[in-house]
Amino acid sequence: MKNMSINNTKSIGLVLSGGGVRGMAHIGLIKAMREHGVEADLVAGSSVGALVGALYANGNSVESMLSFFRETPLFQYSFFAINKPGFIDTERYFKIFKGYFPEDTFESLGKPLYVVATDLLKGEERMFNQGELIKPLLASAALTPVFSPVEIDGILYADGGIMNNFPKEYVDEHASYIIGSNVSIAAEVHKNELKNSLQLAGRVTSLMIYASNRAKLAECHISIEPKELDKIGVLDKKGIENAYAIGYEHGSRAIEKMLSA
């Protein structure tokens, strides 16, 4: 973690990782920031980090952010995909998102926002920061193979975390002070938790994502990475309140430490 007083900064960047329901910890961090009068000037996020980042850039209250995730169904029979790859049709969420982002543009947000999604055709990451907002958000959060890819201008996009789960580089040149929140945790597991191919694949994937996050997280001036989040399932909506509380606790400590530096 870099040493630099927030009092000497011109702009603050906030970087939010992917990680499903664990991303409610991002909202806890935002609550701690607001309570201490700390406001980011721009935001970059991937997957759930993009969703939280968009709500934050939109000026939503913490309670409104939590309501968005509490009320948005993860698995609903009418949302099941038909003739599309994935179990859930991601684009069925468009109407829900439109209720929160009625203008559906990056330009309508109160802060610059950088959203990362994965171009499945080229195998490259794609950053969105202007024009249409909702489809890039849906694409960034389209965790495969659960959610179907999202088509934008003839290209299929999926979860931004595949290629870049902690898109810090998009705020580097614009912010002099960077706050990071990583909720993609790869804590130690017991060998009994690696009994089948699915568990093994999941473990290897989480380790790969975590390895790519680690170096960039260390470059942030201040960051949180709550290990307790590892006990919360990525798609377990019952973990929303717990993840939020964990993020608030860690965020409060980090912000207090930052302000006292």
pLDDT at residue 10, as a whole number: 72
Task: Give the closest residue to 150 by CA, choosing from 166, 163, 133.
Answer: 133
**pTM of the prediction?**
0.89
Q: How far apart are CA 105 and CA 88, in angstroms?
A: 24
pLDDT at residue 77, as a whole number: 47
Q: Note if 172 is an active site residue.
A: no
Contact 226, 185 (CB under 8 A): yes
Catalytic residue, candidates 47, 206, 223, 252: 47
CB atoms within 10 A of CB 99: 9
Torsion angle of the four alpha carbons 162, 168, 172, 177, in this order, in degrees rounded to the nearest 10: 170
pLDDT at residue 199, as a whole number: 65
User: What own/partner pairs with CB < 8 Å and gap ≥ 24 does 71-76 have?
Assistant: 71/96, 72/96, 74/235, 74/237
Per-residue pLDDT of the chain (261 residues; tens, 9 = 90+): 454 555 556 799 999 999 889 999 999 999 999 999 999 999 999 999 999 999 999 999 999 999 999 988 765 545 665 667 666 778 789 999 999 999 999 999 999 999 999 999 999 999 999 999 999 999 999 988 888 999 999 999 999 998 999 999 999 999 999 999 999 876 666 788 778 776 676 667 667 777 778 889 999 999 999 999 988 888 788 999 999 999 999 999 999 988 887
Catalytic residue, candidates 17, 46, 89, 159: 159
Q: Note if 159 is an active site residue.
A: yes
pLDDT at residue 25, as a whole number: 98
Domains and CATH numbers, the chain: 12-260 (3.40.1090.10)
